[in-house]
């Protein structure tokens, strides 16, 4: 259960006394974000390389930050967020993300020293070994450190999936009890706005995949499994952008809300 703080829907009335020389509406910011997602998928498809995917992903991050800055003014969190470097409770949940983000992360990993890459491959394979025989339900509730965690920090912080950027909390203790301690009666208390921007982007990415002739099922992938597929594959970007269903084993119908 996720208890949401702040208004949920675009268009929620927000009172403000501060004069605004130029008002950018809540709705138009989200609409722009969605359109941008559609366009960036087309851009990545046209480029067709992992490095291109990383450039596109960096653009998405910038646009995400820009949209968030606008929306945070409209609907402020109202109290400090608890999220901080070194807090990794939510990094024990399975991450669902899209194929372009996976390739962007893989491109980053390819620049790592050989020893670090080998350790990551070991962690990814070990995770698959443990989860391979689990049911979909068991995988959904499986809690383990994300393979990208190194010394308690995200090793691909700049390239991390949008859901990792979007998720935040007002109370780290509640996250710990809810995610790692078998639940908390009140669930977790999140600031809804970043999460909403992530959701809108995912909707746009789904539309973008369809328009670009890619399979929209590749918007919902088990991140770690999909990353392992890319890192083990020959010419993954070429094959993916040519329409090969290489991510089929990593596709999931599990929604993030069901994981939480």
Q: Which residues pair with 4 in a beta bridge?
A: 190
For ligand SF4, which residue of 2, 87, 144, 149 counts as binding (CB under 6 A)? 149
∠95-100-104 over CA atoms, to 5°? 85
| Structure letter (DSSP) for residue 172 | H
Closer residue to ligand SF4 in complex, CB, 34/160:
160
Instruction: Determine if 226 is a binding residue for ligand SF4 (CB under 6 A).
Output: no
For ligand SF4, which residue of 30, 164, 214, 221 counts as binding (CB under 6 A)? 164
Instruction: Determine if 100 is a binding residue for ligand SF4 (CB under 6 A).
Output: no
Instruction: Determine if 148 is a binding residue for ligand SF4 (CB under 6 A).
Output: yes
Q: Which stretch binds ligand SF4 (CB under 6 A): 36-44, 142-150, 181-189, 201-209?
A: 142-150
What are the phi and psi torsion angles at 36 (to 5°)?
Answer: -65, -40
- The Cα–Cα gap between 255 and 260 comes to 9
Q: Which stretch binds ligand SF4 (CB under 6 A): 14-22, 60-68, 154-162, 234-242?
A: 154-162
Q: How far is CA 240 from CA 50, 217, 223, in A?
A: 10, 13, 16
**Smallest distance, Å, CB 170 to ligand SF4?**
18
- The Cα–Cα gap between 245 and 34 comes to 25
**Smallest distance, Å, CB 13 to ligand SF4?**
34
- The Cα–Cα gap between 84 and 154 comes to 12
For ligand SF4, which residue of 41, 57, 91, 193 counts as binding (CB under 6 A)? 91
**Smallest distance, Å, CB 91 to ligand SF4?**
3
| CA proximity to 225, closest of 154, 165, 144 | 144
Closer residue to ligand SF4 in complex, CB, 73/130:
130
**Smallest distance, Å, CB 123 to ligand SF4?**
11
Closer residue to ligand SF4 in complex, CB, 24/154:
154
| CA proximity to 1, closest of 254, 184, 139, 252 | 184
Instruction: Determine if 146 is a binding residue for ligand SF4 (CB under 6 A).
Output: yes
- The Cα–Cα gap between 87 and 238 comes to 37
Q: Under the rule (CB under 6 A), what is the footprint of ligand SF4? A: 91, 95, 146, 148-149, 154, 156, 160-161, 164
């Amino acid at each position: 259960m996720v208890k949401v703080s702040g208004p949920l829907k675009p268009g929620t009335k927000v009172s403000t006394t501060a004069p605004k020389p130029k008002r950018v509406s809540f709705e138009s910011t989200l609409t722009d974000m969605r359109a941008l997602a559609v366009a960036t998928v087309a851009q990545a498809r046209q480029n067709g390389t992992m490095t291109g995917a990383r450039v596109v992903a960096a653009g998405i991050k910038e646009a995400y930050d820009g949209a968030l800055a606008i929306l945070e003014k409209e609907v402020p969190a109202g109290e400090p967020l608890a999220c901080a470097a070194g807090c990794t409770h939510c990094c024990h949940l399975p991450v669902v993300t899209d194929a372009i983000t996976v390739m962007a992360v893989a491109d980053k990993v390819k620049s790592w020293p050989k020893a670090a890459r080998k350790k990551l491959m070991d962690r990814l394979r070990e995770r698959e070994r443990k989860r391979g025989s689990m049911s979909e339900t068991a995988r959904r509730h499986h809690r383990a450190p994300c393979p990208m965690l190194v010394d308690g920090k995200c090793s691909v912080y700049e390239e991390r999936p949008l859901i990792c950027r979007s998720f935040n909390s007002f109370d780290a203790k509640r996250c710990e009890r809810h995610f790692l301690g078998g639940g908390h009666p009140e669930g977790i208390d999140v600031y809804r706005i970043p999460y909403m921007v992530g959701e809108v982007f995912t909707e746009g990415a789904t539309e973008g995949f369809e328009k670009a002739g890619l399979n929209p099922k590749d918007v919902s992938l088990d991140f770690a499994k999909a990353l392992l597929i890319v890192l083990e594959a020959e010419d993954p970007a070429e094959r993916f952008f040519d329409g090969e269903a290489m991510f089929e084993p990593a596709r999931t119908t599990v929604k993030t809300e069901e994981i939480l």
